[in-house]
Structure 1
Amino acid sequence: MPMVSIRPWMPSTNGPDFERTVAQAGTRGWTPLSGDAALAPVDDVKAFRGWQAGEDLRNGSVRPRTWKVGVARQEAKRLRKVVDLGGDPLGDIEAAREKAADERKRSKTVNDLIDRFKEEHLPGLRPATRKFYGCAFTNHIAPAIGKKRVQDVERGDVEKLFKKLTGLGQRHQANQCIVITGVLFRYAVDWGWRTGENPARNIDKNHGSGRERYLLPAESRSLAKALEALEDRQAAAILKVLLLTGARVGETCQMRWEQLDFARAIWTKPASVTKQKRDHRLPLTAPVLEVLAKIKQEQSPKSEWVFPGRSKEGYRNDMRSAWAAALKAAEIQKLRMSPSPGETWTVGQSRPVR
């Protein structure tokens, strides 16, 4: 029976030798000479493929590759010399694999970074935040730096986007894009996609002075009259609650009956909808209670939402057209449903300055 002895590519040079064997049926293979009777012969083709790849031939997981016996002997001799001289063939292979893996990470683009963030982290954010992040990715960040490698993005690239948005008058969006870009690159560092400083770090943001918008008594009466005449009665009710409570649009649209205590005239806004991320109890005035009581009387008791709508969440969230119609009827120019950052406004004496 012809025999040949080789040493596999393993971290330790004390691994088992292999013996060339031929079974009675004529099948050829390689059997580990470890004295372990449980080790079955390994197929001839699989043995040399696994030996070349540095795999443990005893686990049966190697893939086939054809080697001629003479070539295998020569390669075994060469590797034995490398090991005897202090070389580490398996270590070299692992180092090459690690280098290739690092190169794959370094080749990731900002678009890849955005995609992974959307998949792993965006679902955990609030609906309004998810929408805002999505708009920032699609409209600003991806068009500006999406095709650049994560490792190649510099501070100047982020500053260029910031200055562009600021120049267009989108000061708040410019600030938020800096924040979101910083979040993205913080994850890039954690994932090993980037080394070095975060390119969005310490970029000075826009600091605008507060702007106040007051509705004059005549404007307040005109707006109230416009709401009474508004064809969309649900929208009119939502806008009345907004104006009378000072609540934000999202908080009002997501109002549930279980949050209202009519006996104590309290609306408990849960932390999931408030900007401060904590429960907020808001006293309700008689006019607000009157609006809500009328809705409750006319609405189906099965609805959990005070203002149900066609959104996938179940509440109404499309108020822009109704607000624009009310402002047009009241002949009022440029007034937001809720104050933007740095802006406050009141409706007569009913809406507190925020």
Structure 2
Amino acid sequence: MAREKINKRAVDALTWRPPGPPQQFLWDTVLRGFGVYVLASGQKTYVAQFRREGRSQRVKIGPHGPFTPEKARAQAARILGRVAHGEDPAAERRERRAARTVNAVADEFLADHVDELRKPRTAAEYRRIVDLHIRPALGRSLIREVKRADLASLRADLRETPIMANRVLAVFGSLWSYSARVGDVEADANPVRGIERYREQGRERFLTTVELARLGVALEEGEALGLPYAIDETRPTAKHAPKSENRRVKLDAFAVAAIRLLLLTGARLREILGAKWEQVDFERGILFLPDSKTGRKPIYLSAAAQAVLASLPRVEGNPHIIAGVKEGAPRADLAKPWAAVKRAAKLEGVRLHDLRHSFASFGAGASLGLPIVGKLLGHSQAATTQRYAHLDSDPLRRAVDAIGATIAAAMDGSKGLP
């Protein structure tokens, strides 16, 4: 437990060191019970800690910046002085917090919890769900007064989008758990509990060998000649458009390579778009990602994937494999090129993420084993890979063939019996 006089120099030098707890503390040697903690994000917060009725309690004073060490120490002294006179600042704080609205708790939840502990894209999705669904329905309600019936009603309102309805319940459950940790409500009273989730239909789509062939043709044609595009013939400007046989748009090499790599590696879109040349080990055939949805992750590169990388030029000043238009930045997305490729290859309803599913389906279908497929995909839980179990049909085929052959042989042998 680190102890030092808390001043600006000490607080500026305070850093979070892995591995360790989410909050790492520095306690003051001048005022007992006064401290400051740092998060992995670098955010620092002053606290006052004391014992009352045999229990250790902690009251948050405020963040470093708005609070200087001197101002925070003075506030801590007032809090600890009230405790010495028999008052309970923590209980008073809980009473004030219990009167907070869902909006107020959500503001703190998003800033102090989600933005600090979730990856940026996940945090953005949390914020979208809170702003679009939770605030309009429950924002003005006191957090302590939200009932299961309120959430059941919100779930019913979203019945046309069952997946979103389930996500809303999950986010509110997380918000309530946070609220319980900071003393607003009781964890056991979480109103999300007991509300049945909508059944979610699987959205996996696997490309067949015929579809893969069409995809390959579309990619080659798009890069070499361009893919055809349509125009609205009813518009006044349509007469100035090129003739139908000349309406083609070429795909840039980086977009084509990204689509090929998605299919050949089973990687996620952002993993490929964000990958850098320095992360590629050509000798071992591995792309080492320092961070991904599931943490550090190696992406294994087949000979075909390495050939795609070898065909790409390196853009001076841009470290990314899939270079974007902006200097030094990766390509932002593949929405337009994928729409054109999908249309040309007649892959109606196929999403970019389905290329990942297709990679997994071929691995499972080849009886490589679900643990191996899961490792290639970077799944952190075996249950995630289990969705592909039904594709692993070769062992069953071999088994049924063996059983059938044995039965047939026995039946054929019976012809010679008396």
TM-score range, shorter chain: 0.5 to 0.7
Deviation at 1:311, TM superposition (A): 8.4
Distance 1:123 1:199, change over 3 A: same
Distance 1:138 1:316, change over 3 A: farther
Question: Match for 1:250 among 270, 276, 294?
Answer: 270
Question: Match for 1:153 among 136, 146, 149?
Answer: 146
Deviation at 1:332, TM superposition (A): 1.5
Q: Tell me the distance in 2 between the aligned counterparts of 1:349 and 1:98.
A: 58
Deviation at 1:116, TM superposition (A): 0.9
Aligned position for 2:172: 181
Deviation at 1:223, TM superposition (A): 1.7
Aligned position for 2:207: 215
Q: Tell me the distance in 1 between the aligned counterparts of 2:207 and 2:315.
A: 35
Query: What is the letter of the counterpart of residue 261 of structure 2?
Result: V
Residues 175 and 205, structure 1, Cα contact 8 Å, conserved in 2: yes
Query: What is the letter of the counterpart of residue 257 of structure 1?
Result: W
Q: Say if 2:163 is the partner of 1:143.
A: no
Aligned position for 1:280: 297
Deviation at 1:304, TM superposition (A): 2.4
Aligned position for 1:305: 320
Deviation at 1:201, TM superposition (A): 2.6
Query: What is the letter of the counterpart of residue 97 of structure 2?
Result: K
Aligned position for 2:64: none
Q: Say if 2:327 is the partner of 1:335.
A: no
Query: What is the letter of the counterpart of residue 184 of structure 1?
Result: L
Q: Tell me the distance in 1 between the aligned counterparts of 2:363 and 2:263.
A: 7
TM-score by length of 2: 0.53
Residues 75-224 of structure 1: pairs in structure 2 closer than 5 A: 104-124=96-116, 125-165=118-158, 167-171=159-163, 173-195=164-186, 197-208=189-200, 210=202, 212-224=204-216
Larger Rg: 1
Q: Tell me the distance in 1 between the aligned counterparts of 2:256 and 2:347.
A: 16
Q: Say if 2:317 is the partner of 1:293.
A: no
Question: Match for 2:257 among 214, 237, 252?
Answer: 237
Deviation at 1:129, TM superposition (A): 0.9
Deviation at 1:215, TM superposition (A): 2.0
Give 3-state SS (helix, strand or coil) of 2:258's partner: helix
Give 3-state SS (helix, strand or coil) of 1:203's partner: coil
Aligned position for 1:263: 283
Distance 1:261 1:102, change over 3 A: closer
Query: What is the letter of the counterpart of residue 291 of structure 1?
Result: V
Aligned position for 2:10: none
Q: Say if 2:309 is the partner of 1:316.
A: no
Query: What is the letter of the counterpart of residue 285 of structure 1?
Result: S
Deviation at 1:199, TM superposition (A): 1.4
TM-score by length of 1: 0.62
Q: Tell me the distance in 2 between the aligned counterparts of 1:105 and 1:181.
A: 17
Deviation at 1:180, TM superposition (A): 1.4
Higher relative contact order (CA 8 A, sep 6+): 1
Q: Could you list the runs of 5+ residues in structure 1 that have no partner in the other structure?
A: 1-90
Q: Tell me the distance in 1 between the aligned counterparts of 2:149 and 2:182.
A: 23
Query: What is the letter of the counterpart of residue 292 of structure 1?
Result: L
Query: What is the letter of the counterpart of residue 143 of structure 2?
Result: V
Distance 1:163 1:319, change over 3 A: farther
Residues matched between the structures, number: 254
Q: Tell me the distance in 2 between the aligned counterparts of 1:164 and 1:113.
A: 23
Give 3-state SS (helix, strand or coil) of 2:206's partner: strand
Once the two structures are superposed, what CA deviation does each residue of 1:272-292 show, in whole Å capped at 9, x if it has no partner? 2143x3x33332122211211
Q: Tell me the distance in 1 between the aligned counterparts of 2:145 and 2:307.
A: 60
Q: Tell me the distance in 2 between the aligned counterparts of 1:339 and 1:156.
A: 37
Q: Tell me the distance in 2 between the aligned counterparts of 1:177 and 1:134.
A: 11
Give 3-state SS (helix, strand or coil) of 1:214's partner: coil
Residues 265 and 359, structure 2, Cα contact 8 Å, conserved in 1: no
Distance 1:349 1:105, change over 3 A: closer
Query: What is the letter of the counterpart of residue 110 of structure 1?
Result: V
